Structure 1
Amino acid sequence: MDTFALVVTIAVALGFTYTNGFHDSANAIATSVSTRALTPRAALAMAAVMNLAGAFLGSGVAKTVSEGLIETPTGGQGMMILFSALVGAIAWNMVTWYFGLPSSSSHALFGGMVGAALAGSSTVYWSGVWEKIVLPMFLSPVVGLIVGYFVMVAILWMFKGTNPHKAKRGFRIAQTVSAAGMALGHGLQDAQKTMGVVVMALVIGGVEGHGDPIPIWVKIACAAMLSLGTYAGGWRIMRTLGRKIIELDPPQGFAAEATGASIMFSTAFLFHAPISTTHVITSAIMGVGATKRVSAVRWGVAKNIILGWFITMPAAAAVAAAAYWVVNLAFG
């Protein structure tokens, strides 16, 4: 039964990674598709490959997820807590995908972990949740907004004497690079989050010990599922990011993607903080759009997106807690 529970939990974790891929694939490519720098299929294929590559760039985020948020629970109850956390995250991902709302898969996972841990009377490291999740959740969009604004201002200043049509053609080519950077950062951030969950499951199941390096098969499996999910596409969310917030042109798309990618790499390598790719790129798009004029950003859509950010963690936590009670009633 223990082995079966471990296999099921890992399978559900990989299923979460798949939903993360199609839910968040739009983050990397929506701006490139909306500016016609890349065709949708070419963009998805590129994002899938770069997601795969990004997953192998580090392990700091995975360690934060597996050790820094909740105490690793033990035994059958521990596996039920982890399983329920994943159910909560997947359920919220599917709800927000259905409504085309670019909420954060990362915060759905973290909310699920906290909710399931509380329901199962496991210890939550609130200092870790605050420092690694809540603070970055507030700071990263603010940084994305400000940096996106100033990157766009710099581009406008540098190319103010250039022929507009020629500049747009050049930035369409440049967007191939910036979109690849976003997809690489997505793989670096989001594949590692699931690696952390799988490692936690292996520790609970007695297969791995605390502090052991991440097995190579875990990296490959998580990276592959994220890439498959990415290639499956996220058309509903792509429309929201690419068109509904602001009508983007190639220079704006490049500025937003370059901003998002730089923030994701900085937080992963310097702070090992698992930030949301959704939060960063959405706020960067808003900052870039505000250089045109403040009214150019459709703030009503932006308000709904921000509301989704605040709802995600408690909603996923509630679903995960409910899932734990059901699973515990059935198998506890």
Structure 2
Amino acid sequence: MSLLFIVIAVVLVALIFDFTNGFHDSANAMAGPIATGALTARKAVVLAAVLNVVGACLSTEVAKTISGGFFDEKLVNPSMVLAGLVGAIVWNLLTWLLGIPSSSSHALFGGLIGAVVVGAGLTSVHGWVVVSKVLLPAVVAPLVAGLAAALSTKIAYRITRRTPSGRTSTGFKYAQAFTASLVALAHGTSDGQKTMGVITLVLIAAGFQAAGTGPHLWVILAAGLAIGLGTYSGGWRIMRTLGKGIVDIDTPQGATSGAATAATILASSHLGFGLSTTHVATGAILGSGVGRDGAEVRWGLARKLVVAWLLTLPGAAVIGGLAALLSGTGVVGSVVLLVVLAAVCVVIWVVSRRNQVTSTNVTDSREVMVLASATPSTYPQDPRLTPSKPAGRAGGKKSKKKKKIKSGV
């Protein structure tokens, strides 16, 4: 009975992670179209949500890699998987709070590795599979996507340099919406499968499913729906970073970076690589900036993102390992862990309410790496009305109006 309770808890927490994956990584597909106006914010997330669900049902190669490749299935138990998921969720929420487009995939892998190492020892992890299916693609894929985006952006601007600007802009907006849709579909085929793999892993570990088999239909549908709902919820903080923080994206850049991202992710999913769609999308956006003459690429922010990427796997592993110390004590420990997870989620949500980023202000600010740098929603976006530049003479009626604005009235 206690085993069944933990398995049910793992399935539910896995779907919660899938939801966080959806809103954390929705920016990978739709930050560009929203930033350029090719799609409105709400239309973009609805389109991405639907295509995430469709994509999650197209393939199971990545799910099989996770459920039968990374760990010795005989040494893994449901409590370890639960702890690993907690590590991934906490890391996802922290990076979302800061607007950092880190990898949900690496958070998941890191959380699971940390929990399994603590619970079953280092030998339970198949190191070469982790290196070949996760670490090497993490280095190679963003570079490939960036080079492809840079080259295609140069070609696009060269071909259309004599075309009327209005016609060019309209054409590339349609192209950008199309390539963003492909990225959303590819994201579903890649990231949607990771939760399927985790649920399948725990079912095998608990003896409810034969080793070496793929995910059941109900697992595929549930994971697809969870990531679709998460994508629909927005994830506006990270969209602001990718859409406005790294490069000011023009429509040709958005179209070419989307095409490079989609091609890289779809090819990797077919090969069963546990690829980070965030790394690929960010690499493609940077590449599109390099490929456009005169574009300002904010390399300082890019370096900070790379540091965050390097910290993701070990950071989630530490959280997952600490969670495994608690979940390994039995049902009571697992219940306490779930309570702690719920408390952390509430605290992060409360903190996020102090400085909200929504569909209405997602394109307002470039400074997004820390909460204090995001433009507060209570201030109008007219630079004359910010605190550093008062809107009138001191002591007059306009000065009172400025005070009202500052207080949020």
Query: Would you say same fold, with TM above 0.5?
Result: yes
**Per-residue displacement from partner, 1:163-193 (whole Å, max 9, x unpaired)?**
1221011111111211110000000000101
Partner of 1:102 in structure 2? Answer: 101
Please give the alpha-carbon distance, in whole angstroms, between the structure 2 residues aligned to 1:206 and 1:119: 22
**Are the aligned partners of 1:47 and 1:230 in contact in 2 as well (CA < 8 Å)?**
yes
Which residues of 2 match residues 187-202 of structure 1 at below 5 A? 187-202=188-203
Partner of 2:85 in structure 1? Answer: 86
Q: Which has the higher contact order (CA 8 A, sep 6+)?
A: 1
Please give the alpha-carbon distance, in whole angstroms, between the structure 1 residues aligned to 2:11 and 2:249: 40
Q: 1:49 to 1:313 in 2, by over 3 A?
A: same
Q: Which has the larger radius of gyration?
A: 2
Please give the alpha-carbon distance, in whole angstroms, between the structure 2 residues aligned to 1:43 and 1:324: 38
In percent, how many aligned pairs have the same letter? 40
1:290 partner amino acid: V
Alpha-carbon offset, residue 69 of structure 1 = 1.0
Please give the alpha-carbon distance, in whole angstroms, between the structure 1 residues aligned to 2:141 and 2:54: 24
Partner of 2:138 in structure 1? Answer: 137
Alpha-carbon offset, residue 73 of structure 1 = 4.4
Partner of 2:397 in structure 1? Answer: none
Larger displacement relative to structure 2 (88-97 or 293-302): 293-302
1:283 partner amino acid: G
Please give the alpha-carbon distance, in whole angstroms, between the structure 2 residues aligned to 1:277 and 1:244: 18
SS at match of 2:120: coil
SS at match of 1:149: helix
Partner of 2:280 in structure 1? Answer: 280
Partner of 2:316 in structure 1? Answer: 316
Partner of 2:159 in structure 1? Answer: 158
2:80 partner amino acid: I
SS at match of 2:209: coil
**Are the aligned partners of 1:72 and 1:200 in contact in 2 as well (CA < 8 Å)?**
yes
Alpha-carbon offset, residue 214 of structure 1 = 1.8
1:158 partner amino acid: I
Please give the alpha-carbon distance, in whole angstroms, between the structure 1 residues aligned to 2:316 and 2:214: 29
1:48 partner amino acid: A
Partner of 1:205 in structure 2? Answer: 206
Which residues of 2 match residues 222-301 of structure 1 at below 5 A? 222-269=223-270, 271-293=271-293, 296-301=296-301
Aligned alpha-carbon RMSD (Å): 1.3
Which residues of 2 match residues 22-41 of structure 1 at below 5 A? 22-41=23-42
**Which residues of structure 1 form unaligned runs of 5+?**
none
Normalized per residue, the structure richer in helix is 1
**Are the aligned partners of 2:114 and 2:316 in contact in 1 as well (CA < 8 Å)?**
yes
**Are the aligned partners of 1:70 and 1:113 in contact in 2 as well (CA < 8 Å)?**
no
Using structure 2 for the length normalisation, give the TM-score.
0.79
SS at match of 1:248: coil
Please give the alpha-carbon distance, in whole angstroms, between the structure 2 residues aligned to 1:295 and 1:120: 49
**Per-residue displacement from partner, 1:205-258 (whole Å, max 9, x unpaired)?**
211101223211000000000000000010000000000101111111001111
Larger displacement relative to structure 2 (146-155 or 47-56): 146-155
**Per-residue displacement from partner, 1:111-149 (whole Å, max 9, x unpaired)?**
111111110124000000000000001111111111111
1:211 partner amino acid: G
**Per-residue displacement from partner, 1:76-118 (whole Å, max 9, x unpaired)?**
x711110011000001000000000000000000011111111
**Are the aligned partners of 2:253 and 2:292 in contact in 1 as well (CA < 8 Å)?**
no
Alpha-carbon offset, residue 70 of structure 1 = 1.4
**Which residues of structure 2 form unaligned runs of 5+?**
334-409
Partner of 2:61 in structure 1? Answer: 60
**Are the aligned partners of 2:153 and 2:292 in contact in 1 as well (CA < 8 Å)?**
no
Q: 1:156 to 1:293 in 2, by over 3 A?
A: closer
**Are the aligned partners of 1:73 and 1:79 in contact in 2 as well (CA < 8 Å)?**
no
Alpha-carbon offset, residue 158 of structure 1 = 2.0
Please give the alpha-carbon distance, in whole angstroms, between the structure 1 residues aligned to 2:207 and 2:69: 19
Which residues of 2 match residues 151-190 of structure 1 at below 5 A? 151-190=152-191
Using structure 1 for the length normalisation, give the TM-score.
0.96
Please give the alpha-carbon distance, in whole angstroms, between the structure 2 residues aligned to 1:63 and 1:105: 18
Q: 1:295 to 1:36 in 2, by over 3 A?
A: closer
1:239 partner amino acid: R
SS at match of 2:310: helix
Q: 1:147 to 1:19 in 2, by over 3 A?
A: same
Partner of 1:111 in structure 2? Answer: 110
Aligned length: 329
**Are the aligned partners of 2:64 and 2:214 in contact in 1 as well (CA < 8 Å)?**
no
Please give the alpha-carbon distance, in whole angstroms, between the structure 2 residues aligned to 1:27 and 1:257: 9
Please give the alpha-carbon distance, in whole angstroms, between the structure 1 residues aligned to 2:175 and 2:295: 27
Alpha-carbon offset, residue 293 of structure 1 = 4.4
**Per-residue displacement from partner, 1:37-90 (whole Å, max 9, x unpaired)?**
00000000000000010011111111111111111245xx71111001100000
2:81 partner amino acid: L
SS at match of 2:197: helix
Alpha-carbon offset, residue 2 of structure 1 = 1.0
**Are the aligned partners of 2:149 and 2:291 in contact in 1 as well (CA < 8 Å)?**
no
Partner of 1:50 in structure 2? Answer: 51
